[in-house]
Amino acid sequence: MSSQVFHTTVTKPKASAKDGKGIFMTVEKDGKVYTNVIDAITGAAVGSLGWGDTDIQEAMAEAAKHHTYSFPGCIVSTAAEELSKFYIDQCPKGAFKSALWTCSGSESNENALKIVRQYQLERGRPEKLKIISREASYHGFTLGAMSIGGGPRGVPFEDIMIDQKNVCLKMPMFYPYRRMKDGETLEQYAQRLLDSLEQLIIENDPNTVSMVIVESMSGSSIGTPVPPKNYLKGIRDICNKYDLIFMVDEVMCGTGRINDGKLCCWENFLAPEDAPDIQSVGKTLGSGYVTIAGVLVGPKIYNAFAEGSGVIVGAQTYHSHDFNCRVALAVQQKVLKQNLTANVFKMGNLMGDKLQKALVDSKIVGDVRGLGGFWTLELVKDKSTKEIFQPSLKIGSRFANAALEHKVNLMGLTGGNTTGETWDIAVLGPSFIITEKDVELLCERIVETVKDFTKALETEGIV
Ligand SMILES: Cc1ncc(COP(=O)(O)O)c(C=O)c1O
């Protein structure tokens, strides 16, 4: 049947989600219905709660009863206030002072870029313009967010992005599996990257550099490499040294996905006093029940506004939307009450550990990496040389198709940078309610997928 939805595969209908309960979902693809599929990625690592959560259904009904829309430029929502307090209270004390709620991670990053720009203007530093982000990074699909991204998805749009030569600068990605040198420790590799960041700042006149933005842990772009403690701390210190804003994008890795009981991913790597100055969040915040994301603003930036013009010129129609904020608050209250971030941290690490052990002899799984509720298998043609598959083979998405045959929904993709390097990854980010029994079943199904997929590639003469 033809589709009237403008899909990513425009002329070819995609698989569709039919139903879901807990961590399981029903998917229809090419006329075939797959039941009891373990949702091991919850869309794009969106799920904190499982599907069909009756508490959230009730909270949504309640929210609908009380919801009164108002334009946030004129009249604000009290639910937005409550959600801000709830979130900020769960971050390290003093890290953030204020929050803005948007409808997507891309929008959050767009808004954050503008907030940082205005921060520099408020303090009389208009020459501080340049934004440093990472090679191969992903920060969203709107033009501003893509401008600071560093993957192949942005390449066709470069001519209409924020100036890619003079404003958006790129530092090397953090990708130990491919970029660490023989004999180098993880810390030495991180230090090498920090040195190159500092060099980039010096070469580009530190007085004209405004900010550095990184994901605390990369998600769909590189696939969950875990940085050593000196990496984010080193970026924080460099930002302090050159008077730059340090921003983390925690749209995918944050809001409980990777933290043993709390919300921010960076707490795994940074002390509270090294908190980022601004942070974007999304996905698990609303758990896919509502389209909500946000920007958390630290005291340094907040104070520049408060002591400066005190005004943000402009707001979006659905900023800090009342219904979204009410439902996200209910989601987060349940996550906190049931200590679900600690659960997914433990269960995710168990899943990673099991997969590392079970796939150690696999011919095509070169690396299993991750932390807490966010893990990745990297697929390679030759494990000893880490040789990649030809990108035209689309091994990542083929692997996702193979996983669906084994009743697992995961994100399989071919990642890359803008210079033509590619890699194939399969990303796992289950909802926070996953149990030990679920992990057991999920790992069995993934191991079976790897076996069958390897056989298919052998039959085709690819490996
Ligand atoms: C790190 C990161 N930032 C931003 C975004 C964009 O979020 P959204 O798709 O909600 O616009 C994503 C989406 O995957 C992401 O992974």
Q: What is the pLDDT of residues 129-147, one digit of tens each?
A: 999 999 999 999 999 999 9
- Owner of token pair 């049931």: 338
CATH fold group of domain 58-337: Aspartate Aminotransferase; domain 2 (3.40.640)
Across-strand partners of 33? Answer: 28
Name which of 216, 423, 259 is nearest 346 in CA terms. 259
Q: Which of 101, 102, 106, 376 to mutate to test the pocket of ligand 1 (most atoms within 8 A of CB)?
A: 106
Beta strand pairing status for 422-428 and 411-416? Answer: antiparallel
The verdict on the CB of residue 219 being under 6 Å from ligand 1 is yes
The verdict on the CB of residue 374 being under 6 Å from ligand 1 is no
Going by pLDDT thresholds of 50, 70 and 90, the confidence category of residue 1 is low
> CA–CA separation, 162 vs 229, rounded Å?
32
Is the model's pLDDT at 409 over the cut of 80? yes
The verdict on the CB of residue 110 being under 6 Å from ligand 1 is no
pLDDT digits (tens, 9 = 90+) for 56-113: 999 999 999 999 999 999 999 999 999 999 999 999 999 999 999 999 999 999 999 9
- Owner of token pair 């550990």: 353
For ligand 1, atom 5: residue with the closest CA: 140
Average confidence (pLDDT) over 206-214: 98
pLDDT digits (tens, 9 = 90+) for 353-395: 999 999 999 999 999 999 999 999 999 999 999 999 999 999 9
CB 70 within 8 A of CB 76: yes
Is the model's pLDDT at 274 over the cut of 80? yes
Q: Which of 102, 139, 290 to mutate to test the pocket of ligand 1 (most atoms within 8 A of CB)?
A: 139
Quick one: pLDDT at residue 304? 98
Across-strand partners of 428? Answer: 375
Question: Given the CA of residue 291, which atom of ligand 1 is nearest to it?
Answer: 10
Is the model's pLDDT at 10 over the cut of 90? no
Q: Which of 8, 41, 138 to mutate to test the pocket of ligand 1 (most atoms within 8 A of CB)?
A: 138
pTM reported for the whole predicted model: 0.97
Going by pLDDT thresholds of 50, 70 and 90, the confidence category of residue 325 is very high
The verdict on the CB of residue 153 being under 6 Å from ligand 1 is no
The verdict on the CB of residue 53 being under 6 Å from ligand 1 is no
pLDDT digits (tens, 9 = 90+) for 212-235: 999 999 999 999 999 999 999 999
CB 292 within 8 A of CB 101: yes
Question: Given the CA of residue 106, which atom of ligand 1 is nearest to it?
Answer: 11
Across-strand partners of 387? Answer: 382
Residue ranges of the chain assigned to CATH 3.40.640.10: 58-337
Going by pLDDT thresholds of 50, 70 and 90, the confidence category of residue 4 is confident
> CA–CA separation, 65 vs 254, rounded Å?
30
* Ligand 1 centre distance from Cα of residue 366 (Å): 26
The verdict on the CB of residue 223 being under 6 Å from ligand 1 is no
The verdict on the CB of residue 239 being under 6 Å from ligand 1 is no
Quick one: pLDDT at residue 8? 83
Is the model's pLDDT at 2 over the cut of 80? no
Question: What mean pLDDT, rounded, does the chain reach?
Answer: 97
pLDDT digits (tens, 9 = 90+) for 415-461: 999 999 999 999 999 999 999 999 999 999 999 999 999 999 999 99
Residue ranges of the chain assigned to CATH 3.90.1150.10: 16-52+339-459
* Ligand 1 centre distance from Cα of residue 12 (Å): 24
61 vs 3, residue with greater confidence? 61
For ligand 1, atom 3: residue with the closest CA: 139
Both tokens of residue 452?
A: 């069958």
The verdict on the CB of residue 252 being under 6 Å from ligand 1 is yes
What is the C-alpha radius of gyration for the chain, rounded to an integer number of angstroms? 22
Quick one: pLDDT at residue 79? 96
What percentage of residues in the chain have a pLDDT greater than 70? 100
Top-tier CATH class for 16-52+339-459: alpha beta
The verdict on the CB of residue 293 being under 6 Å from ligand 1 is yes
Question: Given the CA of residue 218, which atom of ligand 1 is nearest to it?
Answer: 1
* Ligand 1 centre distance from Cα of residue 252 (Å): 6
- Print the SS3 string covering the chain: CCCCCCCCCCCCCCCEEEEEEECEEEEEECCEEEEEEEECCHHHHHCCCCECCHHHHHHHHHHHHHCCCCCCCCCCCHHHHHHHHHHHHCCCCCCCCEEEEECCHHHHHHHHHHHHHHHHHHCCCCCCCEEEEECCCCCCCCHHHHHCCCCHHHHHHHHHCCCCCCCEEEECCCCHHHHCCCCCCHHHHHHHHHHHHHHHHHHCCHHHEEEEEEECCCCCCCCCCCCCHHHHHHHHHHHHHCCCEEEEEECCCCCCCCCCCCCCHHHHCCCHHHCCCEEEECHHHCCCCCCCEEEEECHHHHHHHHHCCCCCCCCCCCCCCHHHHHHHHHHHHHHHHCCHHHHHHHHHHHHHHHHHHHCCCCCCEEEEEEECCEEEEEECCECCCCECCCHHHCHHHHHHHHHHHCCEECEEEEEECCCCCEEEEEEECCCCCCCHHHHHHHHHHHHHHHHHHHHHHHHCCCC
The verdict on the CB of residue 44 being under 6 Å from ligand 1 is yes
